[in-house]
Amino acid sequence: MPGNDDVKVAAAAGITATIAATWAALKSGKVSTGELPQEVIELLIAIAQSTDELRGTARDILEALGISAGGWPANANSITALRVAITPAAGVQLPAVYVPSGMVLLIKAWALNPAWLWVGATAAEVGNVNQAFPLLPSEVVTYQVENADQIFVAAMTPLGVATLGCFACLTVEQRKGGG
């Protein structure tokens, strides 16, 4: 007959496996967050953490699996949105806009742009159409970066001709108080 500690370890391992499987299903899109109430996740985490004297806490086990035991990213309570004029070919570093953990920076090419936007990690990259990511007018790209200032944008035709009058629209969800 198994001892008390063996039962606790087995229970914690089962709960942790359930949480890991649920997390994987959510990340793969097979299950939506609407189908799994936040209370269920919190309950599973609370049960897993209530087992005492494991070889590491349930939080340690989850974190070792690459799963945040802190819960889902909190909803945003604000947004930042702005339009940035893009100078031709030279490459504009986007302004400093903090992107909270779990959120993404959305960059949209202004619908009335007379040329394409070219997005990259450096001014040199966006000056070369063979190295930059193209955005046609009204197209969108998202990046999970810490700050918008990590991205450069240039305005050129597909043949590399610099063009005036282009804009990039940025938006990111925010949480008041940071984080």
73 falls within a domain: no
- Give the range of the structural domain holding residue 13, as residue numbers without chain letter: 4-64
| Closest by CA position to 135, among listed 119, 120, 157, 112 | 119
Which are the contacts of 56, defined by CB distance < 8 A and separation ≥ 6? 64
- % of residues, the chain, pLDDT over 70: 58
5-27 average pLDDT score: 66
- If you ran DSSP here, which 8-state letter would residue 98 be given? B
Q: Which comes out higher in pLDDT, residue 153 or 161?
A: 153
Quick one: CA torsion of 96, 109, 104, 133, rounded to 10 degrees?
-90
Would you call 178 exposed, middle or buried from its count of C-beta atoms within 10 A (0-12, 13-18, 19+)? exposed
Whether the full predicted model's pTM is greater than 0.85, yes or no, is: no
**Same structural domain, 122 and 36:** no
- If you ran DSSP here, which 8-state letter would residue 73 be given? P
- If you ran DSSP here, which 8-state letter would residue 88 be given? B
**pLDDT tens for residues 50-105?**
554 445 566 666 666 555 555 556 677 889 999 999 987 678 999 999 999 888 99
What's the confidence (pLDDT) of residue 130? 87
**pLDDT tens for residues 126-154?**
888 889 999 999 999 999 999 999 999 99
Straight-line distance from the first to the last Cα atom of the chain, in angstroms, rounded to the nearest whole number = 48
71 falls within a domain: no
In the listed set 15, 31, 64, which residue is the last one of a domain according to the structure? 64
- Helices H / strands E in the chain, number of each: 4, 8
Q: Which region, left, alpha or beta, applies to residue 82 given φ > 0 means left and ψ of -120 to 50 means alpha?
A: beta
**Same structural domain, 83 and 59:** no
100 falls within a domain: yes
What's the confidence (pLDDT) of residue 53? 47
156-172 average pLDDT score: 87
112-127 average pLDDT score: 92
